[in-house]
Structure 1
């Protein structure tokens, strides 16, 4: 997907497990792991918002 504007990677604990989030020219949210930059996950703005809000509420804590 050309033309994606990426944010700085989010790396916890100083390790190499980094996730980046960006968006396409039409605003579609895109995520990738920096170790696998060609594997992209796309979602909707609403889907991303729901994911972030669930993480803030601790609903994903069991995954880490």
Structure 2
């Protein structure tokens, strides 16, 4: 498992808290807080875009 430096969690209203992280090679990760051993890996920009879209309500149907 890579050494991931996790950021503070982002928590939506009534939804799970997500955390973004990065490793020494610059790979980006996202996981549900408390389940950091089960993560998705992609580019940092792609993961940030996904979180911003969720915050903007573009993916509410995925969170219910």
TM-score above 0.5: yes
Give the number of the structure whose alpha-carbon radius of gyration is greater: 1
Match of 1:19 in 2: 18
Q: Secondary structure of the equivalent of 2:46?
A: helix
CA–CA separation in structure 2 for the residues paired with 1:13 and 1:21:
18
Q: SS of the residue aligned with 2:39?
A: strand
Deviation at 1:41? 0.8
What CA RMSD, in Å, does the superposition of the two structures yield over aligned residues? 2.7
In structure 1, the partner of 2:10 is 10
Alignment size in residue pairs: 63
In structure 1, stretches of 5+ residues that fail to align are none
| 1:20 shift after superposition | 0.2
SS of the residue corresponding to residue 35 of structure 1 reads coil
Q: Any unmatched runs of 5+ in structure 2?
A: none
User: Would you say 1:35 and 2:34 are equivalent positions?
Assistant: yes
TM-score (norm 2): 0.64
